[in-house]
Chains A and B, each alone.
Chain A
Amino acid sequence: MFPADPAARRSVLSGFGRSTRSAATLVEVDERELPAAIKSLPARGGIMRGLGRSYGDPAQNGGGHVLRLRSGPDAMVLDPAAGTLTASAGVSIDDVLRHVVPRGWFVPVTPGTRFVTVGGAIASDIHGKNHHRDGSFGNHVRRLRLMQADTTVVEVGPDRDAELFWATVGGMGLTGVILDATFDLLPIETSRIAVDVYRCDHLDDVMSEMVASEHDVRYSVAWIDLLARGPRLGRGVLTNGGHATIEQLGPDAAADPLAYDADQVVTVPPLVPPMGVINRLSVSAFNEAWFRKAPRRRVGDVQRIPTYFHPLDLVGDWNRVYGRDGFVQYQFVVPNDAVEVLRTIIERLAAARLPIFMTVLKRFGPGNPAPLSFPLAGWQLAVDIGVRHRSVAPLLRGFDDLVLGAGGRHYLAKDATLTAEQFRRGYPRLDEWRAVRDRVDPAGVWASDQSRRLGLTG
């Protein structure tokens, strides 16, 4: 019963939220060994796992196999003429940035952590602070190689079997194994970000400031204080940013404008309340300090890439602060005309007095052709909530109804609570996606805990 292969071992896996656990056989393979690994998948099937940065259960497969693609950081080819990078799917955004930033390039989209793989970035069709302007990761992929359930390898792209390409973008690993991909890079003059900060005393100010500035900035995101109420409801800090030009750098930085050292210890304010004290009082104080620390208005502040894009990566194991029950990230988008739903949810969260410190409010631009891609033009909110609180479940159910009723949806990379019925409401193009999946995986070889929970497969 136990596989003889030493690279395969049984492990209890969970997502980043540490709130979904199941045991599977973890198999590490490289591309050469992959066909054999696929052929020996058990009845419960297999699923790819990147760096496990999804919050819920998409990269785990209880009772089945979970595959990880081994690939060194050298598995990258930069084509400066075309402005593209071809990277093995197991390569992380961290690896990519270390390779391309010193050469004057940036990734087209980065999430709030650099520890995600290229495979995970495509499979979740991740978005960044620039979605309103540049769309999601899939928009920038020119081609990818996919090993299908029958172990044949196909090359697909927006102009080659576009159906399978877009089913794979956002397809949560259920159309096959992404082996590598070629995607566009963004040319940069410096490795710094010029940041404008606005502290706003009310949600309305945050939102109107965001809308007012979105056409002028590449990156835009706001933090909201969900413990503030009444006249301060939804007060927050908006940080807009753009890649700094050489002229914007001080003389020291200008000497080596493309320097990139992600490991350098940068002094950051405490981004997360200390371990073991996540309660209303401590988080209230934390939020107050966080809000006050922000200048009312400061433009052209020059920051490093890790400070602006990946501050949480500077805090080790912060996802453990919620204790053994873990947490969920509740992330949804609603269309622009459903702004009242967003407001209602923020009001209810503030009224619920939950100890929430991690919040992200963002504008989304239009979505892409991928049937399971999350973004659609409108407002998105993401909040981290510890699941220990019994009031969380009914609260979130109420939000689900509001979001789905307004034509919004939830992000599969964060989802850990949806039912199959709710998922179908949020993703009306599911049948279209399933038709492609049935074509490329008629036997249902690919499956995850999430795919079973949401009725994506089986």
Chain B
Amino acid sequence: MQNALHEPQTVVLFGGTSEIGRAIASELIAPATRTLVLAVRHPDDAHPETFERDGLDVVVERFDATETDTHDAFVRRLAAAHGDLDVAIIAFGQLGDQAEFDAEPARAAEVLTVNYTGAVVVGLAVGGQMRRQGHGRLVVLSSVAGERTRAANHVYGSSKAGLDAFAQGLGDALRPHGVQVTAVRPGFVHTRMTRGMRAAPFATTPRVVGELAADGVRAGRHTVWTPSVLRYVFMVLRHLPRRVFRRLPLG
């Protein structure tokens, strides 16, 4: 179990190569942390050495978000091997290309499977494990794109809208079991995912997202906006009339 100083013993990062996920994990890892699990599609890309230090065991496990029928067993195996899972971060996700989906609708399926179905199934598996432990903190990477979906990326946006809704409800369901769920809603973040794209207003870096997300987790928040100002921006955007919203230059 994490100690009174919010230091987890075990951290699991699903999507272990995600730049945002790694930034959050780095912020949450503390001297008391003994195990970090990087759950990744391609173990060779995991670069565990960036986290290595004395007393921290960095474990790389193969994990594919689309193989949903293996998720529950995977999570149980992690708990059997490493003890209670104190923090789990669900960071995998694909942006996809809206033009491609329009041209070939079936290609949307993979993005949806990864972003929504895969994340929900892992979320349920981790939630179940944390419920059995009576404690734990789950971090789910949502997105502002799900807060109000836009023409430019409505497939991605809808997957995040679904995931965010799932995370909020899961948080309420697990609260009496001592488990906390934090949905992180970043705006535009400079990572591999957005490379080559024109930055949207309030663009930020993985490091900032990592710091804000970790603070939010420690403070027990159910939702974290990164950067924080987006919370207020979306208070307004959420209620804009459709015809106005459609014309906004949101990138």
Interface assignment of A85: CB less than 8 Å from any CB of chain B = no
A453 neighbours in B (Cβ, 8 Å): 1, 3, 9
Q: Could you tell me which residues of chain B, from 130 to 167, have a CB within 8 Å of some CB in chain A?
A: 131-135
Q: Could you tell me which residues of chain A, from 1 to 38, have a CB within 8 Å of some CB in chain B?
A: 10, 12, 17, 19-24
B134 neighbours in A (Cβ, 8 Å): 22-24, 44, 61-64
Least distance between B82 CB and chain A CB atoms (Å): 12
Q: Could you tell me which residues of chain B, from 188 to 239, have a CB within 8 Å of some CB in chain A?
A: 218-220
A63 neighbours in B (Cβ, 8 Å): 131-135
Tell whether, in the assembled complex, residue B176 and residue A417 are in contact, meaning their CB atoms are under 8 Å apart: no
A169–B53 alpha-carbon span in the complex (Å): 38
- The interface on chain A, measured as residues whose beta carbon lies within 8 A of the other chain's beta carbons, has a size of 34
Interface assignment of B178: CB less than 8 Å from any CB of chain A = yes
Tell whether, in the assembled complex, residue B4 and residue A62 are in contact, meaning their CB atoms are under 8 Å apart: no
Q: Could you tell me which residues of chain A, from 319 to 366, have a CB within 8 Å of some CB in chain B?
A: 324-326, 328
A397 neighbours in B (Cβ, 8 Å): 31
- The interface on chain B, measured as residues whose beta carbon lies within 8 A of the other chain's beta carbons, has a size of 26
Q: Which of A22, A64, A324, A453 has the most CB of B within 10 A?
A: A22
**A-B CB pair tally, cutoff 8 Å:** 81
Interface assignment of B55: CB less than 8 Å from any CB of chain A = yes
A11–B18 alpha-carbon span in the complex (Å): 36
User: B4 is contacted by which of A22, A23, A416, A458 (Cβ under 8 Å)?
Assistant: A416
Instruction: State whether A10 and B176 are in contact (beta carbons under 8 Å apart), knowing that A393-B30, A393-B31 are contacts in the complex.
Output: yes
Instruction: State whether A56 and B178 are in contact (beta carbons under 8 Å apart), knowing that A22-B135, A61-B134, A397-B31 are contacts in the complex.
Output: no
A57 neighbours in B (Cβ, 8 Å): 1
A20–B9 alpha-carbon span in the complex (Å): 14
Least distance between B183 CB and chain A CB atoms (Å): 20
Tell whether, in the assembled complex, residue A62 and residue B176 are in contact, meaning their CB atoms are under 8 Å apart: no
Q: What mask results when residues 364 to 405 of chain A are scored 1 for a CB within 8 Å of chain B, else 0? A: 000000000000000000000001000011001100000000
Q: Could you tell me which residues of chain B, from 25 to 49, have a CB within 8 Å of some CB in chain A?
A: 30-32, 34
User: A20 is contacted by which of B3, B131, B220 (Cβ under 8 Å)?
Assistant: B3
A21–B135 alpha-carbon span in the complex (Å): 7
Q: What mask results when residues 5 to 18 of chain B are scored 1 for a CB within 8 Å of chain A, else 0? A: 11101000000000
Interface assignment of A419: CB less than 8 Å from any CB of chain B = yes
A392–B5 alpha-carbon span in the complex (Å): 8
Instruction: State whether A62 and B32 are in contact (beta carbons under 8 Å apart), knowing that A10-B177, A387-B6 are contacts in the complex.
Output: no
B34 neighbours in A (Cβ, 8 Å): 419
Interface assignment of B84: CB less than 8 Å from any CB of chain A = yes
Least distance between A198 CB and chain B CB atoms (Å): 34
A417–B3 alpha-carbon span in the complex (Å): 5
Tell whether, in the assembled complex, residue B4 and residue A387 are in contact, meaning their CB atoms are under 8 Å apart: yes
Q: What mask results when residues 168 to 191 of chain B are scored 1 for a CB within 8 Å of chain A, else 0? A: 000000001111000000000000
B4 neighbours in A (Cβ, 8 Å): 17, 19-20, 56, 326, 328, 387, 416-417
User: A12 is contacted by which of B30, B83, B131, B178 (Cβ under 8 Å)?
Assistant: B178
Which 7 pairs of residues, A with B, have the shortest CB-CB distance? Answer: A62-B134, A23-B178, A416-B4, A19-B4, A63-B134, A22-B135, A23-B134
27 cross-chain CB contacts under 8 A:
A10-B176, A10-B177, A22-B1, A22-B134, A22-B135, A23-B134, A23-B177, A23-B178, A44-B134, A62-B1, A62-B84, A62-B133, A62-B135, A63-B134, A63-B135, A64-B134, A325-B219, A328-B4, A387-B5, A393-B5, A393-B31, A396-B5, A417-B4, A419-B32, A419-B34, A452-B83, A453-B9
Give the B-binding residues of A (Cβ under 8 A).
10, 12, 17, 19-24, 44, 56-57, 61-64, 324-326, 328, 387, 392-393, 396-397, 416-419, 421, 449, 452-453, 458
Q: A22-B135, A62-B134, A387-B5 are in contact. List 19 more A-B contacts (CB 8 A).
A: A10-B177, A12-B176, A12-B178, A20-B1, A20-B4, A21-B178, A23-B178, A23-B179, A62-B135, A62-B178, A63-B131, A63-B132, A325-B219, A328-B5, A387-B6, A417-B7, A419-B9, A452-B1, A453-B1
